[in-house]
Amino acid sequence: MAPLDPHSFTDSTHTLTTHIALSLYFDFPSATIHGAALFTLSSPHSGPLCLDTRSLSIHRVLSPSTLSPLPYSLSPFCDPIKGTHLSLSLPNDAALSSFLITFSTSPSSSALQWLSPPQTFNKKHPFVYTQCQSIHARSVFPCQDTPAARIRYSALLNVPRELSAVMSARHVDRRLPVSGEGYSNLLPNGFNSLWCSETRVVEEFDMNQPIPPYLFAFAVGELGFREVGPRTRVYSEAADGVLEAAAKEFAGTEDMIRQGEKLFGDYEWERFDLLVLPPSFPYGGMENPRMVFLTPTVIKGDASGAQVVAHELAHSWTGNLITNKNNEHFWLNEGFTTYAERRIVEAVQGEDRAVLSIGIGWRGLNDEIKRFQDNLEFTKLKTNQEGVDPDTFYSQVPYEKGFQFLWCIERQIGRPAFDEFLKKYIATFKFKSIDTETFLDFLKANAPGIEKEIDLVLWTEGTGIPPDAYEPVSNLYTKIVSLANEFKLGRMPREDEVADWQGQEWELYLENLPKVVEASQVFALDARYRLSESNDYEVKVAFLQLAILSKCRDFYGEVEKTLKEVGRMKYLRPLYTALVQGIGKEEEKILAKRVFAEARDCYHPIAQGVVESIFAKHL
């Protein structure tokens, strides 16, 4: 076996899948999906073929033309990171270019979160959604679950008629089910007979552009939408106030798309729709093509949440069009996208906003280097991830160190030249998955002599922060950092000094304070500015983290409330870590364990795993 990806059973000598046609029956009472998947290969193949699965029941593997069974086997053990190896045996005497698999998901699927009505915005109907990055598509359907294997797909989603569905694909139709369509007559456990029930509808989708499997996405629930631009709708559950607030927050999306096109070339995905998910969504956003998923915590009421949208939009060029070959080169997705996001923000919101974002990222990068001081491998851009769970070691390093690398190149060759380089890079590698070496070869070919000016090996393979990384400079940035330094000497900022501050300014201020201060300072800061009650979770969580580390137990009620009302890992990770890390914190550890036990079922499985890994390390 010749592995293609340290997180996949895919064999590099085997033919890759190019298209998957899915028929999926959603059974909400059992929190399972019963499916049939028709796989089309890039060329006829005979002999073994390796697929990834996790928590799937495989019922049959068939030849599509004859429906005769094909031999297959599942590995007797489940790898804790990669899942279960599904090995097919395609006939040697007649190579096949397609095959059919019927399967069922499990309630423990790592990609799926099934929400009961009380866990949703509207409290009336259930909801289910996917989060397939980095390696969770395999828990929805069997596949070669590596970014190196880009696929097109079509899907028939059979759902209760009172619900609707969205996907990272073009919506074709909403209609009554048709008997036998999409091999639905082969669905297991009697669900073939339920396909055409009068209580069901079919939502049909098609994605005709090749995407990595982690960008496969759907959500099913009672959904409404608002138009916010010629290419953008904002979707959410049909609940009071959510859609209106989201539409207002993201009203400037079309302007950002146009600025992105000026910088990086045509927008290739036709639609840029947004779905605001329930609070349990584990990320700020997910860049699914045509249908970006967002946490409701980005709705802040001042349009500043649009920066998260700018990041997901930037992925439309860097990440979705050009993708890292595997997670060892994750910086190619996120470093480029962080750079592109800040260029869009600079064009739309001004240079000060972009510099604040860079400054927050700079502080975050320095914190991450300290976090990994005992495992410096994860301070590199190009990492060795054999035997490593990408969710556990997820960090800001590929984002912020990757950004700094590209910013360094821009300074060296000049912005106009770098802009032309970016457009050529995107045009050359669009709809391809590449590695760090491919990028560096392209860079050296198109910026001759760059390796003499910048140590490319140090940047991509070295640990820590290279000496030519750069802290941003602006009057506003310098003022905020100076005020944070004065807090260390006991001076709190005056109200006239912060009168114009939004969440980003406060976030930068808090990030530059010492990790631990006198409890009296924490109380005084909150008494004047009520940061513990901020509607901006970036500000609120940064303040609560300071309060925990400074042992201000009066704020623990707000900590508990926050951990129970949101599932975004950006907030869970620092708060739970602050509670359990270190010695002499028995009260905090008891609180953390109790809160997690009570909130666990409201977290996405990925977030559950991250909190459990924090506990395993510190408890």
What pLDDT sits at residue 1?
66
What pLDDT sits at residue 301?
86
User: pLDDT tens-digit profile of 587-615?
Assistant: 999 999 999 999 999 999 999 999 999 99
Encode 410-433: b = buried (16+ Cβ within 10 Å), e = exposed.
Answer: beebeeeebeebbeebbeebbeeb
This model's pTM is above 0.95: yes
Sheet holding 47-53, edge to edge: 47-53, 84-90, 72-74
Q: How far is CA 10 from the centre of its chain?
A: 22
What pLDDT sits at residue 239?
78
Confidence grade of residue 485 (pLDDT, cut at 50, 70, 90): very high
Query: Is the separation of the CB atoms in 33 and 25 below 8 Å?
Result: yes
Check whether 282 is labelled as a binding-site residue: yes
What pLDDT sits at residue 400?
98
Check whether 390 is labelled as a binding-site residue: no
Pair type for strands 127-130 and 112-115: antiparallel
Separation of alpha carbons 547 and 559, rounded Å: 9
pLDDT > 70 in the chain, percent: 100
Check whether 1 is labelled as a binding-site residue: no
Query: Is the separation of the CB atoms in 20 and 40 below 8 Å?
Result: yes
Sheet holding 200-211, edge to edge: 57-62, 96-104, 32-45, 17-27, 151-160, 200-211, 170-175
Name the β-bridge partners of 175.
202
Query: What residue ranges of the chain are covered by domains with CATH 2.60.40.1730?
Result: 17-221
Q: How many beta carbons lie within 10 A of that of residue 481, not counting itself? A: 18
pLDDT above 90 for 583: no
312 is catalytic: yes
Separation of alpha carbons 603 and 110, rounded Å: 11
Which residue of the set 25, 399, 425, 477 is catalytic?
399
Check whether 283 is labelled as a binding-site residue: yes
Check whether 131 is labelled as a binding-site residue: yes
Check whether 568 is labelled as a binding-site residue: yes
What pLDDT sits at residue 98?
97
Pair type for strands 232-237 and 273-276: parallel
Query: What residue ranges of the chain are covered by domains with CATH 1.10.390.10?
Result: 323-461
Confidence grade of residue 190 (pLDDT, cut at 50, 70, 90): confident
Separation of alpha carbons 283 and 514, rounded Å: 27
Q: What is the dihedral of CA 47, 98, 51, 324, to 10 degrees?
A: 120
Separation of alpha carbons 360 and 20, rounded Å: 41
What pLDDT sits at residue 558?
98
Read off the pLDDT of each residue in 75-104 and give the average, rounded to a whole number: 95
Query: Is the separation of the CB atoms in 592 and 580 below 8 Å?
Result: yes
Query: Is the separation of the CB atoms in 541 and 574 below 8 Å?
Result: yes
User: pLDDT tens-digit profile of 289-307?
Assistant: 999 999 999 999 888 888 9
* Residue 508 neighbours by CB under 8 Å, 6+ apart: 356, 359, 360, 363, 477, 480, 481, 484
pLDDT above 70 for 559: yes
Read off the pLDDT of each residue in 56-63 and give the average, rounded to a whole number: 97
Residue 545's H or E segment, with its range, is helix 537-549
pLDDT > 90 in the chain, percent: 95
Tokens of 434: 């590449």
Separation of alpha carbons 592 and 100, rounded Å: 46
Which residue of the set 204, 222, 249, 312 is catalytic?
312
The phi and psi torsions of 613 (rounded to 5 degrees) equal: -70, -35
DSSP symbols for 492-522: PPPGGGSTT--HHHHHHHHHTS-SS--HHHH
The reply to whether CATH 3.30.2010.30 applies to domain 230-316 is yes
Confidence grade of residue 488 (pLDDT, cut at 50, 70, 90): confident
Separation of alpha carbons 260 and 274, rounded Å: 17
Whose tokens are 């631009």? That residue is 229
DSSP symbols for 42-77: EEEE-EEEEEEESS-EEEEEE-TTT--B--EEE-SS
Strand stretches in 68-169, DSSP E: 72-74, 84-90, 96-104, 112-115, 127-130, 151-160, 164-167
Under DSSP, the state recorded for 82 is T
What pLDDT sits at residue 10?
97
Check whether 334 is labelled as a binding-site residue: yes
Check whether 569 is labelled as a binding-site residue: yes
Read off the pLDDT of each residue in 233-245 and give the average, rounded to a whole number: 90
Read off the pLDDT of each residue in 336-344 and give the average, rounded to a whole number: 98
Query: What residue ranges of the chain are covered by domains with CATH 3.30.2010.30?
Result: 230-316
Name the β-bridge partners of 153.
20, 207
Read off the pLDDT of each residue in 390-411 and give the average, rounded to a whole number: 97
Confidence grade of residue 2 (pLDDT, cut at 50, 70, 90): confident
Q: Which residue has the higher pLDDT, 269 or 122?
A: 269
Three-class SS state of 142: coil
Check whether 311 is labelled as a binding-site residue: yes
Q: What is the CATH number of domain 475-617?
A: 1.25.40.320
User: pLDDT tens-digit profile of 110-159?
Assistant: 999 999 999 998 889 999 999 999 999 999 999 999 999 999 999 999 99
Separation of alpha carbons 485 and 487, rounded Å: 5
Q: What is the CATH number of domain 323-461?
A: 1.10.390.10
Check whether 119 is labelled as a binding-site residue: no
**67: phi > 0 → left, psi -120 to 50 → alpha, else beta; which?**
left
* Residue 276 neighbours by CB under 8 Å, 6+ apart: 234, 235, 236, 242, 243, 246, 294, 295, 296, 299
565 is catalytic: no
User: pLDDT tens-digit profile of 427-477?
Assistant: 999 999 999 999 999 999 999 999 999 999 999 999 999 999 999 999 999
Q: What is the CATH number of domain 17-221?
A: 2.60.40.1730
Q: Peptide bond before 154: cis, by omega within 30 degrees of 0?
A: no
